[in-house]
Amino acid sequence: MQQNEALTFQKGLKDGLPICLGYVSVSFAFGMMATQGGLPVWVALLISMTNLTSAGQFAGLQLILTGGLYIEIAVTTFVINIRYMLMSLSLFQKVDEAMSSLQRFVLSFGVTDEVFAVAMQQKGSINARYFSGLIVTPYIGWAVGTFLGATATGLLPGSVRTALGIAIYGMFIAIIIPPAIKAKPVAKVILISVVLSCFFKWTPYLNRISSGWVIIVCAVIASAYAALRYPVQEAEVQE
Amino acid sequence: MNYPRILTCIFIMAFVTYVIRMLPLAIFKKKINNRFIKSFLAYVPYAVLAAMTFPEILYSTANLYSACIGLAAALFLAYRGRGLLTVALGSAGAVFVAEQILRVVMK
């Protein structure tokens, strides 16, 4: 965790770089799927540049290609992405009070799992400059990856592509493990959430619930339990 | 190619996704002071990331074995306090090596 370093636009760009790299591989796959499904390159790119969300886009693409109804697309997108609501809520408790409404409206477009994770790691409040930098690099990576995947299908050898599939999860692990070692309640939150998530995934019938809902249910239960059991002190809230 | 339909679909996806992200901060402008809610929101990031990572990480590569190797590498590097990029690429590297070895062994 970097402290005492000014939260500049440049630092945002730099912190966004690992996210950007991870995004290139995921959006590459998205671009490939889109063109293999028969969509032109510009449509794949348009989806990525207006949505900026992995699971939601993959599901949406599937529905576009298989002739899904508009209402199906709306509901599916909503369910898969509703976790962003929790993230936005959590994140915007942490932003600088000087951030204007316009800035908030614009920057909320860039709230993704990874941007959220990196932003929450910062000590103290987050300003608009840093947050825009943090969004720009991943956004470019997401668009470039989509474009490359859509145009040059099969550019990367398959062995490299499958190996990169784990990169984003590796990043998540790098974020949650160090705080878990330092604070026992955080470790318990993680443990509860993991157990619940596995339970949903591997139990018949329950495994039909979309991952968006599962994440919300797991996160709400684990966090509520910890908040009751180990309420944070004023000083450590920013941890 | 039915472009009006495709563009409408894309618009619906983009609109729904944006509204979800934007609403919480349009509604909640003031800082929350309730201790429970503050604590809850402080724990949410860890819970969300944990639920997103497990068990999905086990299905993120070509097979379960290489995923386990990648997971072990990620846990080890994270435990040693390495940076995000190091852990991410380290686990991907471990998966790559594991899959090459498996390919040879399986033959």
Number of domains in chain A: 2
Domain that holds residue A76: 9-176
pLDDT for A3: 47
Does A24 contact chain B (CB < 8 Å)?
no
pLDDT for A2: 45
pLDDT for A129: 94
pLDDT for A16: 93
Matching residue, tokens 């062994």: B105
Between residues A138 and B84, the one the model is more confident about: A138
- Over residues B41-48, mean pLDDT: 83
Q: Which of A128, A154, A176 is the last residue of a domain?
A: A176
Q: Which of A126, A160, A176 is the last residue of a domain?
A: A176
pLDDT for A45: 96
pLDDT in tens, A173-206: 988 899 999 999 999 999 999 999 999 999 999 9
- Over residues B72-78, mean pLDDT: 97
Domain that holds residue B93: 61-107
Whether B78 is in a domain gets the answer yes
- Model ipTM? 0.82
pLDDT in tens, A71-108: 888 887 887 787 888 889 888 888 888 888 899 999 99
Interchain proximity A56–B13, CB inside 8 Å: yes
Residue A192 and residue A168 in one domain: no
Interchain proximity B99–A162, CB inside 8 Å: yes
Between residues A203 and A172, the one the model is more confident about: A203
Interchain proximity B9–A60, CB inside 8 Å: yes
Does A170 contact chain B (CB < 8 Å)?
yes
* Average pLDDT of chain A to the nearest whole number: 86
Helix (H) or strand (E) holding B65: helix B64-79
- Over residues B91-97, mean pLDDT: 94
- Over residues B15-40, mean pLDDT: 85
Number of domains in chain B: 1
Q: Give CB contacts under 8 A, 24+ apart, made by A195-201.
A: A196/A221, A196/A222, A196/B51, A197/B50, A197/B51, A197/B54, A197/B55, A198/B54, A198/B55, A201/B55
Residue A229 and residue A164 in one domain: no
Between residues B79 and A162, the one the model is more confident about: B79
Whether A3 is in a domain gets the answer no
Residue A232 and residue A194 in one domain: yes
- Chain B contacts of A80, Cβ < 8 Å? none
Whether A1 is in a domain gets the answer no
Residue B39's CB is within 10 A of a number of other CB atoms, namely 23
Residue A237 pLDDT level (bands cut at 50, 70, 90): very low
Does A152 contact chain B (CB < 8 Å)?
no
Whether B55 is in a domain gets the answer no
Q: Provide the Cα torsion A183, A19, A28, A64; round to 10°.
A: 70
CA distance to partner chain B, nearest, from residue A33 (Å): 16
